[in-house]
Chain A
Amino acid sequence: MPRPILGSSLTTTISTSAPATAPRSTIHGPRLQQRLREKRSAKYAEAMTRLDAGKHHADRTAIEALVDAIANEFPELGIDQRPIGIVSQCYLGAPYQVHICDLEGGIVEHFESFRAMPPLFERARTLALHPSYAFIEVYSDTLRAVSLDGSVSVIE
């Protein structure tokens, strides 16, 4: 358990109501890849970058807004086609380095430089720390690094 510095814990459980409302997707294969390659909207990117600073501990509506932002960004995609989580640089200061928003587990968690994230997320750590990327979307088989302008690079 990380050292609590904001509120009682740095792990926040969020409610993911999206599965119940997510549509059944008709996009598969190359079309899905193409869709996920499209530039992310400024609104979505902004919502993702607001994941930091412990704001979500004080403001649960912001966390829900985050989940909504993902649902709104990919309305035509099924829940299993959307990112399973987001990794980005943490600005809480040392020893914290990165944080994740695990959409499947419904938690936001901050990680120190010496503590490994879950395996699916850990491979995004170096990219999340690179200044060229605002945040990293984590999928089961790929990573998608989203630049500050919303453009997407795919790492298979």
Chain B
Amino acid sequence: MGTVHVDLSGVESAIKVVNSNIGVIAQAVENVGTRVEYVAQEQADAKSKLEDLYAEFREFVATDIRQKERQFATTRVIEVRQTLEKKFGHYAVVRRQTTGILQATDLAVVRQDTMRTATENLMIECPGYWLAPSLVALTGWIVDNREVAEKALNEALKRDDSKASLFFTLVCRRARRMEAAANWLMRYFQIQNPIALDREVVVMLDALANGVFGGAALTTCTSVIDEWLGELEQQAGFPEEQRKRWGEALDLMTPKVGPDEFPTLRKYSSTWPKLEAALAAARRNQVILDFFASLFTGEIIVPPSLESAVDTLLESLVTNFDDEELPLRREERMLTLIVEEGGDKGAAQRRYDGESDSFSAQTNFAAMLTNSAMYPERSGATRATQRYAVSRSRQWIIAGFNDLVARNRAQVPLQAEITCGSWKGTSQDGLNEPQLSTDLAQHYDGRIEEAVNAVKITGGTWAIAGIGALFGILLMVGGNILIGLLLLVAAGGFFFFKYSNLDKVRQATRQALENERDEANRILKAALAELTDLRREIAQEDAKAGSVVELLSELSSPQFVLNRPEQARAVMA
């Protein structure tokens, strides 16, 4: 058999070309791979940016709503004040004349006719207002016109018995008519109901706490207050209501945690809202302690003369307690709170709810004490009254405070959850870092192993190479040896390229996950450090609850009744 020479140089050349082309294709595939990775990264970045954008958008909308609410409240509060001025501004003239008449009489520099004419004009200008006939009665008394005085007095009592009685109590006290003052005060008390008192009772408390009442009036006041409180205590549910009232008032003093505090826990712990609430509640103890400590620190300056002390009270009585103004005053307060809270209506409403009693036309005596203690500027109480009110309410304050503290302590989460990357763990106080770090490392070791093992020849590669090889064989069998061989070599080359690229992909996968693990570990360490600090601070601040109770327990009401220079020290029951 002769030797057959087949010239394979063409095949070899073609194979070289195919190899070269495979190299080009491989390069192209690698480029595509790089671009796919790039696109995936871009997509992840875009998603993250979109999420940030959404959060920013929501914040923007919320801020916009708040700004609009604030703007509206700022404009509306001006309108309300204008309405108040328009509707009740003319009362101001009457109010100013009250102390004006008394001081003019002291100095004897105004003719009696002038005073009489002025007050009689007020009767005409202010129909229905209790103070106008009261001033006519006062002038009638000063000019010794009994008939006019009695008529005007009857009218004043008819218009507002409580305020007129208290008004004449103070006027008589100013004139040092002790017996008349005691009679007026007795009349005032007789028409009071401790369950539904008018707001001006705070003036009586002011008079008591500032030492204006002496002798019989002081004794009467003290025993009536004891009686009122005793009566209220007997009512079912009253003590509970008082504790709740105080708890709510103290809860409003909870400070906000700064937005930059504990940034890692804020971002990576799903327990953060509860931790934040616990921290804010614990910090409230210091706020409450400062509030009561500063209230009882420093000397209260007693007005030098009895006249000036009573004039202050009279001014308060005639200015702060007219019920007709209440609806507008309520609206004014609510709008002011919205402005103060930067347009946050919810926060403003919560603050308003806490002090809404001070805008009720009538309330019980104990609520009056709470209002005087917590919202002196709303209820028109002086600092002396504030001290007196706190000292008389101390048992309720302590109980309300203890309930509040216990409620907050019950809500402190025992464990804090931390999420770093794909790992989740819990810590009580941040001191289990070695254990959590190991757990995190094990979690990522598992993930890396899983991900690296998952990098293998894919079904697609197998399919392409297999189909290519099959077609090559079929072509060769069919006689197209050259093309079949080429296809076979191309399929083999493709498979080889894919196989040799696996290590590179594995390395990249490992590197990406190791980077994620290192970042997660950094977050974990930061979060645990913050948790340790947070728990320590909560414990320190929580312990101050004892100081609040201690401070309040030491207060006693008699020591907070001021002594005026002209009266001997009175010992109250």
Q: Which of A29, A33, A155 is the one whose CB lies under 8 Å from B410?
A: A155
A126 contacts B by Cβ under 8 Å: yes
Knowing A30-B236, A30-B240, A34-B240 touch, does A123 contact B406 (C-beta < 8 A)? no
- How many chain A residues sit at the interface, stated as a range, is 20 to 34
Interface hits, B387-418 → A, CB 8 Å:
399, 402-403, 405-407, 409-414
Indicate if the CB atoms of B237 and A124 lie closer than 8 Å.
no
Q: Which of B240, B402, B405, B545 is the one whose CB lies under 8 Å from A33?
A: B240
Complex interface bits, A79-121 against B, C-beta within 8 A gives 1, otherwise 0: 0000000000000000000000000000000000100000000
Contact partners of A33 in chain B: CB under 8 A: 237, 240
**What is the interface of chain A mostly: helix, strand, loop, or mixed?**
mixed
A16 contacts B by Cβ under 8 Å: no
Residue of B whose beta carbon sits closest to that of A123 = B410
Q: Closest CB of chain B to A153's CB: distance in Å?
A: 4
Indicate if the CB atoms of A145 and B406 lie closer than 8 Å.
yes
Indicate if the CB atoms of A126 and B414 lie closer than 8 Å.
yes
Knowing A126-B410, A126-B412, A155-B407 touch, does A37 contact B240 (C-beta < 8 A)? yes
Contact partners of B240 in chain A: CB under 8 A: 30, 33-34, 37
Contact partners of A123 in chain B: CB under 8 A: 410
Q: Closest CB of chain A to B528's CB: distance in Å?
A: 18
B239 contacts A by Cβ under 8 Å: yes
Q: Closest CB of chain A to B565's CB: distance in Å?
A: 42
Indicate if the CB atoms of B406 and A153 lie closer than 8 Å.
yes
Residue of B whose beta carbon sits closest to that of A131 = B543
Q: Which of A30, A133, A151 is the one whose CB lies under 8 Å from B237?
A: A30
Indicate if the CB atoms of B406 and A155 lie closer than 8 Å.
yes
In the assembled complex, the Cα of A113 lies from the Cα of B426 at a distance in Å of: 13
Indicate if the CB atoms of B414 and A125 lie closer than 8 Å.
yes
Residue of B whose beta carbon sits closest to that of A29 = B236
- How many chain B residues sit at the interface, stated as a range, is 10 to 19
A31 contacts B by Cβ under 8 Å: yes
Q: Closest CB of chain B to A39's CB: distance in Å?
A: 11
Interface hits, A45-68 → B, CB 8 Å:
none
Indicate if the CB atoms of B402 and A151 lie closer than 8 Å.
yes
Indicate if the CB atoms of A143 and B236 lie closer than 8 Å.
no
Q: Closest CB of chain A to B478's CB: distance in Å?
A: 71
Residue of B whose beta carbon sits closest to that of A124 = B410
In the assembled complex, the Cα of A127 lies from the Cα of B409 at a distance in Å of: 6
Q: Closest CB of chain A to B240's CB: distance in Å?
A: 5
Knowing A125-B414, A126-B414 touch, does A34 contact B406 (C-beta < 8 A)? no
Indicate if the CB atoms of A154 and B406 lie closer than 8 Å.
yes
A130 contacts B by Cβ under 8 Å: yes
Q: Closest CB of chain B to A138's CB: distance in Å?
A: 12
Interface hits, A133-156 → B, CB 8 Å:
133, 143, 145, 147, 151, 153-156
Indicate if the CB atoms of A154 and B403 lie closer than 8 Å.
yes
Can you list 19 A-B pairs, Cβ within 8 angstroms, ordered by A? A30-B236, A33-B240, A34-B236, A34-B237, A34-B239, A37-B240, A123-B410, A125-B414, A126-B410, A126-B413, A129-B414, A132-B545, A132-B546, A133-B406, A143-B406, A151-B402, A153-B406, A155-B403, A155-B410
Supply 5 further A-B pairs (C-beta < 8 A) apart from A37-B399, A143-B406, A153-B406: A34-B236, A34-B240, A153-B405, A154-B403, A154-B406
